[in-house]
Amino acid sequence: MPASALAELLKTYESELLEEWIGAQRAAGLRSDLIDLDTVVSNSRELLKLLAVAAEQGIDDLGARHWEPVRGMLERLSRAQSRQGFSPSETATFVFSLKEPLFAKIQQHCGAASLNEIWNATRLLDRLGLYSMEHFMAGRETVIREQQESMLELSTPVVELWKGVLAVPLIGSLDSNRTQVVMEALLQKIVETESEIAIIDITGVPTVDTMVAQHLLKTVTAAKLMGAKCIISGIRPQIAATIVHLGVELGDVITKSSLADAFVVALRELDVRLVSRPVLR
């Protein structure tokens, strides 16, 4: 039996299939909070049409050119749904729920060849379902990557505490990329503001390993070459103990337990004295 039996059915019974498919999707449960019925109907109608056209030219190779429109549509739809908050099964159900109405049609019209045709149809729909899933996941991964990138940018605030005093409060896990970005931002800002002192606060950093230590040391050295002095603050007792056991030498870097202490040191370095205003009567 040629593949066109399937194409023939899809074309001849298009409107019946559409109606029953929508029914099957509704029975499986539609996310009415995320998608309205009109959209479901128009998506379904479009895919049915594309399927009929593509199936006419053979259903064995979904990578073939004539499947391009179907692939394109599923890809767009699945990516969009992964962003909109559909679950993987909700997205997969779109394609899979076509099985029931389609198999029924095959049974009614293909006689002795039914079994064979059902097998063809199930293989086709399974592959299309998997294709949807791949792009659903790809959509998720894109979202994750974007979030990671935006976090990289968000977490590098270099602030000026006083004319000539910069501070960068590091928060979260420091891995190569992020540390590099922060450190470069700090050096850049030292140049821009002609600051003499930079405070690197690591209160929010859960782990200081040799890689983080090395980044810190490199930054301190680079800052020194630009004429600025670094103070590392927020070294909690457990971090101090760990650094000592690791054997990392912070050399002549000034360290302080809190950002406030570091700020006082910085002001002293700049010869700034803070006095409380006497209370006048």
Ligand X SMILES: Nc1ncnc2c1ncn2[C@@H]1O[C@H](COP(=O)(O)OP(=O)(O)OP(=O)(O)O)[C@@H](O)[C@H]1O
148: CB partners within 8 A, 6+ apart: none
Minimum distance, C-beta of residue 245 to ligand X, in the bound complex (Å): 13
35-74 residues in contact with ligand X (CB under 6 A) are none
Which x/- pattern over 154-173 shows residues binding another protein (rule: CB under 8 A)?
Answer: -------------------x
Give whichever of 110 and 183 is closer to ligand X, judged by the CB atom: 183
Question: Which of 60, 149, 175, 184 touches another protein by CB under 8 A?
Answer: 175
Burial, 79: exposed, middle or buried (Cβ in 10 Å; 0-12, 13-18, 19+)? buried
140-199 residues in contact with ligand X (CB under 6 A) are none
186-205 residues in contact with another protein (CB under 8 A) are none
CA pair distance 250, 146, nearest whole angstrom = 35
Question: Which of 39, 147, 210, 221 touches ligand X by CB under 6 A?
Answer: 210
Residue 149 contacts which entry, ligand X, another protein, none (Cβ below 5-8 A, type-dependent): none
By CB under 6 A, residue 244 contacts ligand X? no
CA pair distance 91, 82, nearest whole angstrom = 8
CA pair distance 200, 183, nearest whole angstrom = 9
Residue 213 contacts which entry, ligand X, another protein, none (Cβ below 5-8 A, type-dependent): another protein
Task: Looking at the chain, list the stretches that DSSP marks H as alpha helix, in order from N- to C-terminal side.
Answer: 4-12, 14-28, 37-56, 68-84, 88-96, 99-109, 114-154, 176-193, 210-225, 237-246, 259-269
Question: Which of 37, 143, 211, 260 touches ligand X by CB under 6 A?
Answer: 211
Asked if residues 224 and 233 have their Cβ atoms less than 8 Å apart, the reply is no
Minimum distance, C-beta of residue 222 to ligand X, in the bound complex (Å): 18
Nearest to 216 by CA among 227, 205, 226: 205
By CB under 8 A, residue 206 contacts another protein? yes
Minimum distance, C-beta of residue 243 to ligand X, in the bound complex (Å): 12
Minimum distance, C-beta of residue 251 to ligand X, in the bound complex (Å): 15
Could you count the other beta carbons within 10 Å of the beta carbon of residue 262?
26
Give whichever of 115 and 211 is closer to ligand X, judged by the CB atom: 211
Question: Which of 28, 53, 80, 213 touches another protein by CB under 8 A?
Answer: 213
Length of the chain equals: 281
State CA 73 to chain mean position distance: 22
Element spanning 163, H or E: none
Residues that bind another protein (CB under 8 A): 173, 175-177, 206-211, 213-214, 237-239, 241-242, 245-248
